[in-house]
């Protein structure tokens, strides 16, 4: 990064960069696009490790299990452990354990991988039978969705069961000629049918997505940078949580989006490469 660009950095931003102890990374659009790893990803993670900064991967997509994500990231040559992954399914599980400890039996719309995550956390699942009464309804990004199960979810919502959604995304990014209808769109359909929205929607921009990292690594929000490519999820969550919001322009958001935004991110960089250079400069220049 040119020296003149470094010299123009706001002094408060420099202080925040120096205080960072953890980087929360969005994946699609930040680390990779579809199944293609971005060239800047590996060098950035190496820089972060050399600086002694921790990092983890945060995703709104609950359709894959932690094991699925580990396989994908490691297959791209990235160094990642189980405790460095946090999905919206995990945030939902943590929320239920914390806020609804009595809930154990769920009617859930989700992929087999998502169901496995909930089962491993001690939850059981009700069938489509109206006599198999759940404690709550969970709506996820369900690529195995069937009409009958949507109708049963609507039924239990009408009966007043607590309803939790894993994430607000209406569509999932795709590198194929299709539209991947996501959890937010499924929730909109159910709300239209029942007149009722979910009681709680996890996933970015809800700050509970960062709470999992705060609790796991015992660090304050102020020492976390949330890095992602979406203004209305990654950056909005950072703002709500009091973390540093870093927008990369390798995914969805453009510079025009930033100019049109009511409130700009704390930092906008072309990619992780430039953010890594900034971190190195800030961490190695002391109070100069």
| pLDDT score of 238 more than 90 | yes
How many angstroms separate the CA atoms of 167 and 255, rounded?
26
Please give the backbone phi and psi of residue 36, each rounded to the nearest 5 degrees, phi first. Answer: -110, 115
Rounded mean pLDDT of 61-68? 93
**174 burial class (0-12, 13-18, 19+ CB within 10 angstroms)?**
exposed
- Percent pLDDT > 90 in the chain is 87
Among 213, 195, 198, 188, CA closest to 161:
198
User: In CATH terms, is domain 90-201 a member of 3.40.50.1000?
Assistant: yes
Question: What are the b/e assignments for 260-279, b being 16+ CB within 10 Å?
Answer: eeeeebbbbbebbbbbbbbb
Among 187, 183, 154, CA closest to 171:
183
Residue 31, CA atoms < 13 Å, CB-side half-sphere: 26
State the pLDDT confidence band at 34, using cuts at 50, 70 and 90: confident
The pTM for the full model equals 0.91
DSSP annotation of 206 reads S
Task: Say if 3-60+205-284 and 90-201 have the same CATH topology.
Answer: yes
DSSP states of 214-244: HHHHT--GGGEEEEES-IIIIIHHHHHHTPE
CATH T-level fold of 3-60+205-284: Rossmann fold (3.40.50)
* Domain locations along the chain: 3-60+205-284, 90-201
| pLDDT score of 30 more than 70 | yes
Give the model confidence (pLDDT) of 149-167 as tens digits. Answer: 999 999 999 999 999 999 9
Strands 180-181 and 171-172: antiparallel
How many angstroms separate the CA atoms of 216 and 153, rounded?
32
Question: Are 157 and 52 a contacting pair, CB within 8 Å?
Answer: no
What pLDDT score does 8 carry? 55
Strands 200-201 and 180-181: unpaired
DSSP annotation of 201 reads E
């Amino acid at each position: 990064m040119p020296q003149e660009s470094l010299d123009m950095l706001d002094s408060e931003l420099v202080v925040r960069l120096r205080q960072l102890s953890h980087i929360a990374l969005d994946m699609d659009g930040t680390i990779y696009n579809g199944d293609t790893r971005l060239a800047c990803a590996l060098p950035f993670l190496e820089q972060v490790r050399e600086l002694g900064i921790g990092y983890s991967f945060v995703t709104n997509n609950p359709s894959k299990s932690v094991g699925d994500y580990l396989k994908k990231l490691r297959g791209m040559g990235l160094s990642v452990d189980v405790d460095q992954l946090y999905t919206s399914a995990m945030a939902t599980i943590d929320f239920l354990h914390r806020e609804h400890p009595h809930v154990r039996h769920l009617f859930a719309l989700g992929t087999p991988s998502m169901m496995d995550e909930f089962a491993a956390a001690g939850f059981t699942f009700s069938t489509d039978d109206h006599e198999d009464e759940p404690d709550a309804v969970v709506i996820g990004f369900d690529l195995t969705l069937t009409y009958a199960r949507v109708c049963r979810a609507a039924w239990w919502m009408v009966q007043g069961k607590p309803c939790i959604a894993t994430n607000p995304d209406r569509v999932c990014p795709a590198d194929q000629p299709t539209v991947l209808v996501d959890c937010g769109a499924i929730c909109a359909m159910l709300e239209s049918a029942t007149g009722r929205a979910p009681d709680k929607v996890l996933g970015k921009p809800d700050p509970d997505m960062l709470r999992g990292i705060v609790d796991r690594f015992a660090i304050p929000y102020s020492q976390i940078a949330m890095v992602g490519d979406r203004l209305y999820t990654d950056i909005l969550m950072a703002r709500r949580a009091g973390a540093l919001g870093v927008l990369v322009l390798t995914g969805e958001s453009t510079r025009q989006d930033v100019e049109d935004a009511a409130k700009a991110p704390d930092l906008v960089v072309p990619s992780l490469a430039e953010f890594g250079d900034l971190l190195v400069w800030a961490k190695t220049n002391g109070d100069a």
